Every structure is written in structure tokens, then in C-alpha cells.
Structure 1
Amino acid sequence: MRYQRYGIAAIMALVIMTTVLTGCGSGKQSKLVEGKTNVVTSFYPLYFLAQQIGGDQANVINLIPAGVEPHDWSPKSQDLETASNAQLFLYNGAGFEGWTDDFLEGLRKDSKLVTKEGSEGIKLIEADGTDEHEHEDHDGKDAGGHHDPHTWVSPKSMKIMAANVLAGLSSVDPEHQAEYEANYKQLESKLTALDDEYTAKLGAAPKKDIVVSHNAFGYLARDYGLRQVSIMGLSPDAEPKAQDLLKIAKFVKENGVKYIFFEELVSDELARTLAREADAETLVLNPVEGLTPDQEKNGDDYFSLMNANLQNLLQALQ
């Protein structure tokens, strides 16, 4: 069969040579603002939620700048100083940020920073043994059976994260709780509409299999009845094994998969090579870890990226 004759050695070389360019964040480094609730976030989805819910009363600072891989980022002394003077720190948890334990221990002794875990209350997915990537949870211990941390890629999970952000803001600034709740209700309504659209349209799609470059869509697949097959592991720089690539090529052919998804912020060479050899095409499926500079200029946000994801999913699942 043709999938057994394609250039696995060449593909493995691509894996090793690929430079991961995953960006994360708003692309802007903010400063503390007196008279507002200063919120520090660990990456873009929480930055977006905090801005939407915090509104005029919150000054939101995203730690990870654009162009930096969030799985491997580590804070600097300036980040510690900023957080030490802020009121609220929002992080995803579920093993996404391996640096939080040391970070919080490094805060100034007189810091009154309150922490809130965005993924709290979400039923976490245990990572498949073949896709395990070493993550740690927020207390520095191994994250159980290696959890999939990519909670925000499902609108259902994002609704729970929004409620956690509301709780965090209300706890540090109860004076403006009513305003936060009003902002939250507007956001929650939009997330519910997005969830409903995903449920209806993906539920009606004739196919359910998605082949992706990075194992970041487990929650989306679980919540909307899809099956995810990934080239990479939970981290976009995890290296697949040659036998795994052969299995994926076989899966693509045997299941009539027409598209292999890649990410805009990560090299697409591996996905494109696999697609070529398996007679498939490629499409973007964005894990929404951050915005590109062009997306920022265009005014893109979580909703526009997730709407684009839905359209590409529907095209691939026909």
C-alpha cells in the first residue's frame, strides 16, 4: 500500500528540524494601573475572559508575549514584581503551566495576590498513553495521569472558565461585583450561542474523524461527538514516532479523511507532508492559545477564531 512507501525518514527529519512558533498572548505588555483591579493572566484565553468580564474596572496584564510557546515559557523577575503588586492571578491549571508553583513561591512576602484556576470544575481528560507529555499541576506535583490541559478549545469548557474568572474578580473587588456579573452574563450568552451552534452543526455533520497536527482538541472532540487523531502529542513540539505516522496515514486512507488540520502558529510542514502522501488536503484548526499580530490588527478574538474553526470543521467533515 502506498502509505507504507512514503518518506517516513524525511518526515522524522522535518519533526526534528521544525521550529515551533506558537504564539500566545495579546502581544502587548501592560503595566499596573492604580485605581483599577490589576489582573495578571497566564495566556490569551484567560486574558480575553478577564478583559470581557472585568470591563472598565479591570486592568489585565498577560504574562506571555506573542511569539512565545506557552508550554515552555518561564517567568522573569519583572513578571514576579508585576504579579506581586497585582490583585488577581488567573492561570489555566490542569498541567498547562508547569511554572506556577515556583512562580507563586517567588512572590514578595507582602504580596496580597489572589490566585484562581481557570479549569477548576471542568471534568479533565486523561492523556492517552501514547500522547503523554510531562506536565505538572499547580502544586508542582505530577498531574495525576497526565491531563490534557487544552480545556478552552471547547465552548462548553470556556463557559466554566468564564464563571471562574467572574468568581476571581468578585472575590478581590466585591465593590464592583454587580458590574462584573452584568459583563459575565453578556459573555455567557455569547458562549452559550457558540456552544449551541457547535452542537447543532457538528452533530449533523456526516463524518466525525479529525486528524490534527497537535493533540489540542480533546475537549472539543469529547463535547461535540468527534474523534481526534493527532500527529503530535499534547505539546506542539512533541515528536511523533515513525510507526505512529504510518498508523495515521493508514487511518486517513481507510476512513476517507479528506483534510489534515494544522495550526497557523506552528510549522505546517509535517501536516502538509502527511497530507500529500495520504492524498488529503490541509486546513487550519486553531487551538486559540494566542493571536498573531495580523489577527490583533484585524480585531480577531476567541469568538472569531472559534467561528473560523467551526467552518473549517464542517468543510472537513462532509
Structure 2
Amino acid sequence: MKILQFGIISLLLISLGLAGCSNQSTPIQSPNDRINIVTTIYPLYEFTRQVGGDKVQVDMLISPGVEPHDWEPSAQDLIRIKSSKLFVYHGAGLEAVDKLLAKEVLGGVKSVEVSKGLISHTAEKDEHQHQNDVHTWLDPILAKHELKVITKALCEVDPANKEYYERNADRFAKELDQLDNDYKTVLANVKRRDIITSHAAFGYLANRYNLKQTGIMGLSPDSEPTPERMAQVVKFCRENQVKYIFFETLLGQKLAETIANETGAGLLVLNPLENLTEQEFKEGKNYIIIMRENLVNLEKALNN
């Protein structure tokens, strides 16, 4: 299936290149002349929406409920990007964006990589390799940096509304500051500092608030842990009297439940916010709400 998809995308790239030679691509304006912006993952969609307000129409390529690690761009995605004015992606290997950054796709569309310069954590991929931890948005301070990158890009493509975007960014930055302060206050004096997670997505959050993460899986949520790894995690939980195992809404709770059953621990959600489920979107949940839900569950797990 992926080979067929690659062929379709390659043909579309050629056709887009030929179209680009014959005329300049004009970004499609959204209703009421809103600027059309395309993002990849949910956190960037939310940050862009917060800054852009009613001046932009934000489109997210990765559908609700889809794991970004599993996502492959479609031919339609290329068309959506070429019809936009700004393409916002995370980078650092999280999304399969190589083809999306081709000149034939972007044309005159501005692209911005929000994680550039932020990646500082790695985790074991296997006994010989490490891979980047890309989940920078789970640290509210790093999320503020990403907000600034998005704001700068928006001001560049739409300078007429620069003050409007900067006001919105300042407002949301204050929300992130408050979120950071609340995390610091709540987690400063918890009884425990070890968190057991489905996959090792919480390195930046753990580093910011002096927690210690143990992932059942590594950074890639589609890699099954070995029996040896499962035994190591069970041993750690028993020795440290871990009371709760965290699972993720997109991955389900099977692995976490296995560890919980072996150790007598309970289960709680710790959401890495790579994406939201359809139900979470319907309920009106967003980055701030879910980060606060995460904090409630962290406090419960670390004080029992």
C-alpha cells in the first residue's frame, strides 16, 4: 500500500512541478478572507489557532485519533499545503514531511519547523541506537518557544495583522506561564518522583519538574517491548512500590494493564498530546485542559 502511495505522490509531485512552471500558485483564501494555514500535529494546530484567532483558517493534516508516528502524507495533503499560505510542522523526524517540503509542493508557501534548536533529549531505540525525543510541547516553557516561532511566521506572511497576532500570542503565553507555575507548585513536594508510562514521551516534562520517567516502550509507540523489558519494569514497580501505571488514549491500556496486573498498581491516563481522539475534540478539550488533566493524575499517582 505504501509503495502504491509513494508512486501516486511521486506522480503528483511531477504534475505540481509542471504546473508550477506554467504559472504561479496563488494560495486559496478561506471564507471571509482568512489566511489558510496547514499544520501537521495537534499541538501546532492549537498553538496556531490561538495566535491566529479569527484571522486564520487552520487545517490539521493528521486526522483526530491518528498516531503521528503512523501517519503517511497523501496526495491530497500535498494539494492542501500548496493551496495554503503557511505550512507549520514540528520536525526532528516526528512527521514524514520530506516530500511535503519539496519545492514542487511548497512553491511560494512559507514553511516553518517549530522544534528547530529545541531537541535535547534522546532515549534508547535499541541496545545500539538512540533516537530523538520530539515531545517538546509537553514542557510549557518549550511550548512558549514554539508559540513564538509560529507567531513570527504568521507576522511575516500577514504583516497587516502583526499587532493582533502578537496580542494573541502574549495572552496564550500567559496561560502557559500559569500552567508552568501550577505544575511547579503541585509537583514540588509530591511523595514520589517516578512515573511509569506506556512509551517514553515525557522526557521534557519530567526534566522540567524533576520527575523520573520509566517507559514500558521506547520513544516509538509502535515498537513492542521485549519480555525482558516487561520483566524489568515489573521488578522496578515492585521494588519502588509504584501505585499507578500511566497509559495513553491513542495507544490504549493493554501494556499498562499487563504491568498493573503483575504489580497490583492502578491505571491512570497521561496524555502526550500528539493528537486528540474524536471524542476529545467533540468535548471541546484542548492543550491547556488536557495538560491540567495530566497534572491532576500526576498528583494522584505521586502522592499515593
- Normalising by structure 2, we get a TM-score of 0.86
Q: For the residues of structure 2 that align with 1:33 and 1:87, how far apart are their CA atoms?
A: 11
1:125 aligns with 2:121: yes
CA distance in 1, matches of 2:150, 2:127: 30
1:44 to 42, 45, 52: 42
1:220 aligns with 2:216: no
Q: Which one-letter code corresponds to 1:66 in the other structure? A: P
Runs of at least 5 residues in structure 1 that lack an aligned partner in the other structure: 1-30, 134-144
What secondary structure is seen at the aligned counterpart in 2 of 1:204?
coil
Q: CA deviation at 1:108?
A: 3.9
Q: Separation in 1 of the partners of 2:128 and 2:274?
A: 19
Provide closer, same or farther for how the CA distance between residues 293 and 32 of structure 1 changes in structure 2, counting only shifts above 3 A.
farther
Cα distance change of structure 1 residues 91 and 206 upon mapping to structure 2, 3 Å threshold: same
Give, in angstroms, the shift of residue 299 of structure 1.
Answer: 1.2
Paired residues in the alignment total 275
Once the two structures are superposed, residues 172-220 of structure 1 have per-residue CA deviations (whole angstroms, 9 ceiling, x without a partner) of: 1111111000000000000000011111211221210000011111110
Tell me the percent identity: 41
Deviation at 1:118, TM superposition (A): 1.5
* 3-state SS of 2:285 partner: coil
> How many angstroms does 1:128 deviate by?
2.9
Q: 188, 199, 203: which is aligned to 1:203?
A: 188
Q: Distance in 2 between matches of 1:212 and 1:39?
A: 33
- The answer on whether the counterparts of 1:284 and 1:312 sit within 8 Å (CA) in structure 2 is yes
Deviation at 1:106, TM superposition (A): 6.4
Distance 2:148 2:173 in 1: 8
Q: Which residue of structure 2 aligns with residue 171 of structure 1?
A: 156
AA partner of residue 301 (structure 2) = A
Find 1:186's aligned residue among 171, 174, 185: 171
What SS class does the counterpart of residue 283 from structure 1 fall into? strand
2:101 maps to: 104
Q: List per-residue Cα deviations over 1:200-251 (Å, max 9, x = no partner).
A: 2112212100000111111101111000001112121111111111111110
The answer on 1:314 being equivalent to 2:303 is no
- Aligned partner (choices 63, 75, 78) of residue 77 of structure 1: 75
Letter in 1 for 2:76: Q
SS at match of 2:59: strand
In structure 1, give the amino acid aligned to 2:110. Answer: V
Structure 2: runs of 5+ lacking an equivalent: 1-27
Contact kept? 2:123, 2:200, Cα under 8 Å: no
State whether structure 2 residue 112 is matched by structure 1 residue 116.
yes
CA distance in 1, matches of 2:109, 2:290: 31
Residue 136 (structure 2) aligns with = 151
Instruction: Go from structure 1 to structure 2 and tell me whether the alpha carbon gap of 1:200 and 1:131 turns closer, same or farther (over 3 Å shift).
Output: farther
Cα 1:75–1:225 shift into 2, 3 Å? same
**Residues in 2 aligned to 1:131 and 1:66: alpha-carbon distance in whole angstroms:** 33
Structure 1 position 123, deviation (Å)? 4.4
Instruction: Give the corresponding residue for 1:276.
Output: 261
SS in 1 for 2:98: helix
Corresponding residue for residue 14 of structure 2: none
What is the root-mean-square deviation in Å for CA atoms of aligned residues?
1.8
